[in-house]
Amino acid sequence: MRLDTAEATLDVAHESFPVDGSFTISRGARKTAEVVVATLRRGGHVGRGECVPYARYGETIEGVMEALRGMAGAVADGLDREALQSAMPPGAARNALDCALWDLEAKRAGKRVWEIARRDPPAPVPTAFTISLGPPEQMRRKAARNAFRGLLKIKLGGEGDLARIRAVREGAPYAPIVVDANEGWTPDTYAELAPELVALGVLMVEQPFPAGADEALATLERPLPVCADESAHDCASLEGLRGKYDMVNVKLDKTGGLTEALKLRDAAEAAGFGLMVGCMLCSSLSIAPALIVAQGAAVVDLDGPLLLARDREPGLLYDEAGAHPPSPELWG
């Protein structure tokens, strides 16, 4: 769909949401979720998309907003989703605009996004709940409070990780567990911890080694399956993961939007990778399009709004069935 010249406008805004307590990974702690929202308007229709700039990839709030504002002229000239893929590189800024284009198209057509994408209507998706990095006893208490959840994702960071997982398992004896090392391990760390974590019932580790320094995975025995996160961005990065990773984590802020995320999902499955769908620390507006990608995924980690003290209104419904598809008022 092409937008009519002069009728399409783009607004860009920075929004902040308080975290429930704090959220800590190996790179630091955060007390707010900082997002950028792209809003497209045409006549009486409005489309929105949210992204989370990530310093790990050299992104800043200011830089992403500047990149989006630079697209205002192209939007007015009729930019569509297909042209956007070559007009902007993968990353947070393109994600916000791509999702806003999907939302606007759905609003104008009077359809849901999954109909336009020719996908089955999404069902509620059970999601992991993240236990952020901390002292073992603190992580044990948080695991105990969340032991009822269908999957716990545990943030790790190197020294002391075995004690942390033992504490989490003590707090949640029966909960399925995956762990995220956030590039904080070495090959020796993996070789030492993997058998112990498998014995403790851990199902998978996400990105144990730094992206660009993960060649050891090609020759390392992997008793604990390994999922690519920082090493996996879009379809172009997929070939470099073969033989090193067992799973791929698809995140819209890495792929640059729903358009490429759906392509990466399909390509990863066709290549034999297990599928994980994840998110940044964000509001329900970021999660809504990811739910389409997450249908049938082996691991779903779309708990961003659950980690906030306040989500946007209307937000997504989370209950015992998981994260429910968005209302049209929210997105899509």
Domain membership of residue 27 (yes or no) is yes
Closest CA to 224 of 319, 317, 140, 156: 156
Q: Give the integer Cα–Cα distance in Å for 293 and 250.
A: 8
Q: Give the integer Cα–Cα distance in Å for 39 and 157.
A: 37
Same domain, 218 and 311: yes
Instruction: Please check whether residue 177 is in contact with residue 140, taking contact to mean a CB–CB distance below 8 angstroms.
Output: no
Decide: helix, strand or coil at residue 17.
Answer: strand
pLDDT of residue 28: 67
Q: Give the integer Cα–Cα distance in Å for 81 and 98.
A: 6
- Please identify which residue in the block is written with the tokens 């297909």: 82
pLDDT of residue 157: 84
pLDDT exceeds 70 at position 301:
yes
Give a three-class secondary structure readout of 67-93. HHHCCHHHHHCCCCHHHHHHHCCCCHH
Instruction: Please check whether residue 23 is in contact with residue 307, taking contact to mean a CB–CB distance below 8 angstroms.
Output: yes
pLDDT exceeds 70 at position 6:
no
Same domain, 139 and 288: yes
Q: How many domains does the chain have?
A: 2
**Per-residue confidence band for 331, with pLDDT thresholds at 50, 70 and 90:** very high
Same domain, 82 and 210: no
Mean pLDDT of 125-132: 96
**Per-residue confidence band for 252, with pLDDT thresholds at 50, 70 and 90:** very high
Torsion of CA 167, 170, 175, 181, to 10 degrees: 10
- Please identify which residue in the block is written with the tokens 């070939």: 239
pLDDT of residue 5: 43
Q: Which two tokens stand for residue 72?
A: 């205002």
Q: Which two tokens stand for residue 132?
A: 């952020």
pLDDT of residue 90: 97
Closest CA to 236 of 276, 270, 268: 268
pLDDT digits (tens, 9 = 90+) for 268-291: 999 999 999 999 999 999 999 999
pLDDT exceeds 80 at position 225:
yes
Same domain, 307 and 167: yes
Mean pLDDT of 202-213: 96
pLDDT digits (tens, 9 = 90+) for 176-195: 999 999 999 999 999 999 99
The catalytic residue positions are 155, 251
Q: Name residues whose C-beta falls within 8 Å of residue 136's C-beta, 6 or more positions apart in sequence.
A: 160, 163, 164, 166, 167
Same domain, 137 and 104: no
Mean pLDDT of 50-74: 97
| CATH code of 14's domain | 3.30.390.10
Residue 126 DSSP symbol: -
Same domain, 174 and 305: yes
Same domain, 189 and 286: yes
Domain membership of residue 81 (yes or no) is yes
Percent of the chain at pLDDT exceeding 90:
93
pLDDT digits (tens, 9 = 90+) for 152-174: 999 998 789 999 999 999 999 99
Domain membership of residue 307 (yes or no) is yes
The dihedrals phi and psi of 66, each to the nearest 5 degrees, come to: -65, -45
Instruction: Please check whether residue 99 is in contact with residue 43, taking contact to mean a CB–CB distance below 8 angstroms.
Output: no
pLDDT of residue 203: 98
| CATH code of 301's domain | 3.20.20.120
pLDDT exceeds 60 at position 15:
yes
**Per-residue confidence band for 1, with pLDDT thresholds at 50, 70 and 90:** very low
pLDDT of residue 4: 44
Same domain, 37 and 106: yes
- Please identify which residue in the block is written with the tokens 């009486």: 44
Domain membership of residue 115 (yes or no) is no
Its domain, for residue 172, covers: 129-323
pLDDT exceeds 90 at position 46:
yes
Same domain, 208 and 268: yes
Domain membership of residue 4 (yes or no) is no
Mean pLDDT of the chain: 95
